[in-house]
Amino acid sequence: MIDGILTGGVYALMAAGLTLIFGVMDIINVAQGVLVVLGAYLSYALSVHFGIDLFLGLLITVPALFALGVFVQWAFLQRLGERERTAMSILATYAVAIIIEGVLGLVFGADYVQLSAWYVLRSFHVLGFYLPYIYVFGFLLAAALLGGLYLMLYRTRFGRSVRASLQDRSAARLVGIDVDRVSAITFGIGVAVTADGGMVFGATNSFNPNTGYDLISRLLTIVILGGLGSIGGALGAAVVMLVIEDVVAVVWSPLWAPFVFFAVLVVVLSLKPTGLFGHAATRAQ
């Protein structure tokens, strides 16, 4: 239950990146799951080969993934035609995802690994449970980054451009916002948060190059439930879903927990196609 809320915070961060990308660019980044795994592997490589602490390593992996995100946007996504942009973006980022998965497989092999550090191994006692420190540290970091994201979106000039592009791309362009530049940076930020998400994910779960599929389907579920493009919705949905999954795992069976996770999505969408927190029509379909 508690670790449901704490993991929910980390998922919220990863989902926030996804929903931000969608809101600004109308792009569903299916590669987000694999990018989280990539972030985890980068942290793994840094800590195993260079002995760099997981949290310190973020200083390297976050900029690296930001650069990768800007590159992917510039090299592939910007070149997609306007027609059926969203559908095409799903296919294009899916292709990016399998390339990254293949590269990870070539470099690291298919064995499951897990990140390790003192705060992963040691745990403390709370309310009758033992909880590894990493959950708390990861949650705090996710909360801090989400706060930073919020400040950036609502308190800076750049954030205003992002929100303007979120509301209406062409109108934003008309008032002189360089939408392509905003898109590239947004995509970079959306991807960069996976470095942090990946580190915490890799420390709390064992992973291999295939883990991305499971992860992306969860993230998409969260984002759709929260209403596409709504950051607050993503936060709420992430915590709700992770707590539900945790409760099911304890009360019923861990085998069926992911099943309930997807079943909730199906039920919610059949009752309310725009998602739990979604507006009636965020944008014309």
CB closer to other proteins out of 51 and 273: 273
Residues 43-72 that bind other proteins (CB under 8 A): none
Q: What residues contact 215, with CB distance under 8 A and at least 6 apart?
A: 14, 32, 33, 36, 37, 201
Q: What is the DSSP string of 61-130?
A: HHHHHHHHHHHHHHHTGGGS-STTHHHHHHHHHHHHHHHHHHHHHHHH-S--B----HHHH-EEEETTEE
224 touching other proteins, by CB under 8 A:
yes
Amino acid in the structure at residue 152: M
- Provide the 8-state DSSP code for 28: -
Residue 232 · residue 132 · CB < 8 Å: no
Q: How many Å is the Cα radius of gyration of the chain? A: 18
Residue from 63, 102, 147, 148 touching other proteins (CB under 8 A): that is 102
CB closer to other proteins out of 117 and 249: 249
- C-alpha of 62 from chain center: 13
28 touching other proteins, by CB under 8 A:
yes
How many residues line the site for other proteins (CB under 8 A)?
Answer: 47
Residue from 14, 24, 42, 92 touching other proteins (CB under 8 A): that is 92
Residues 171-210 that bind other proteins (CB under 8 A): 209
CB closer to other proteins out of 74 and 158: 74
Whose CA is closest to 45, among 69, 66, 64? 64
CB closer to other proteins out of 42 and 265: 265
Contacting positions for other proteins (CB under 8 A): 22, 28, 76, 79-81, 83-84, 86-88, 90-92, 94-99, 101-106, 209, 213-214, 217, 220-221, 224, 228, 255-256, 258-259, 262-263, 265-266, 269-270, 273, 275, 285
